[in-house]
Chains A and B, each alone.
Chain A
């Protein structure tokens, strides 16, 4: 799935890295605990989260993730947006809750832990 499709499906606002919207991603994860993301996530390129602090961006950067979706209308500050831009990580913000946003992406083919072939 293209990151741009994620933006459309979640009616999300794009906060940075428009040039990456055509990038293909194959799996995603949803969590508010960065500890768990660091410990359990393998190759998921998309992180959906309700947590907003710079560690979310740094965690995604450490994990080589390509896109972060902030749910429940949470908005990162300019410092976080600058961090993400620096790492080429697309930031999206949606009004949806975590469960709903994950469900929509999953049912449209963006799986959890297996890379679709």
Chain B
């Protein structure tokens, strides 16, 4: 692989049934690049959790994925309500998801900690009333 590859997706926030499409596509693209299944799985899970969060909590957003020889970077940007207390949001079990989301199988408060667990670097920038940017990186072992 030479240089870097970038992927961009608009994540529709109005339709829960389509949530996760971008992550499914990225998984296919990463397989094409011949990356190891373990790396692909970590990237997929982290991005999928983040993509679902944008749909459930922020009314959608954009997903950008940058692949270089060293790492895979995922940047999730939304203009939703923002996160007031990031440390609290990072705790396992903390969730503001309404009951209808729980009946769809999400809202256990496990997504953000899971994203941290599966990536080598994770950073959340968020401002209440403005939006949230989540940046994650997974290193590719030589």
Q: Which residues does A use to contact B, with CB under 8 Å? A: 32-36, 38-39, 51, 53-56, 58-59, 61-64, 79, 83, 87
Please report the C-alpha to C-alpha distance between residue A64 and residue B37 in the assembled complex, in whole angstroms: 9
Q: Is A63 in contact with B106, judged by CB distance below 8 angstroms?
A: no
Residues of B within 8 A of A (CB): 16-21, 23-24, 27, 37, 41, 44-45, 48-49, 52, 102, 104-111, 113-114
Taken together as a complex, chains A and B put the C-alpha atoms of A64 and B28 apart, in Å, by 12
* B interface: dominant SS: helix
Q: How far is the CB of A47 from chain B (nearest CB, A)?
A: 11
Asked whether A62 lies within 8 Å of B23 as measured between CB atoms, the reply is: yes
Nearest CB in chain B: distance from A68 CB, A: 13
Q: Are B111 and A59 in contact (CB under 8 A)?
A: no
Take A51-B105, A55-B104 as given contacts and tell me if A35 and B45 are in contact as well, using a CB distance cutoff of 8 Å: no
Q: How far is the CA of A55 from the CA of B94 in the complex (A)?
A: 21
Known A-B contacts A38-B114, A58-B24; A63 and B108 likewise in contact (beta carbons under 8 Å): no
Q: Which residues of B contact A58 (CB under 8 A)?
A: 19-21, 23-24, 48
Distance in Å: Cβ of B32 to nearest Cβ of chain A: 15
A25 CB to nearest chain B CB (Å):
16
Q: Across the A-B interface, how many residue pairs have beta carbons closer than 8 Å?
A: 72
Interface of A is mostly: helix
In whole angstroms, what is the CA distance A34 to B16 when docked?
Answer: 14
A56 to B19, CA, bound (A): 11
CB of A69 to closest CB in B, whole Å: 15
Contacts of A51 in B (CB 8 A): 104-105
| A63 and B20 form a contact (CB under 8 A) | no
Name the 9 nearest CB pairs between A and B, nearest first: A35-B108, A34-B105, A39-B110, A58-B20, A62-B44, A62-B48, A51-B105, A35-B110, A39-B114
Let me know if B104 and A38 touch, CB within 8 A. no
* Bound-complex Cα distance A62 to B26 (A): 10
A38 partner, pick from B16, B21, B45, beta carbons under 8 A = B45
**Are A38 and B110 in contact, with the CB atoms below 8 A?**
yes
Contact A36 B45 (CB under 8 A): no
- For A39, the chain B residues whose CB sits under 8 A away are 108, 110-111, 113-114
Instruction: Kindly list chain B residues whose C-beta atoms are within 8 Å of the C-beta of A56.
Output: 105
The reply to whether A61 and B24 form a contact with Cβ atoms under 8 Å apart is yes
User: Do A62 and B45 touch across chains, with their CB atoms under 8 A apart?
Assistant: yes
A63 CB contacts on chain B under 8 angstroms: 41, 45
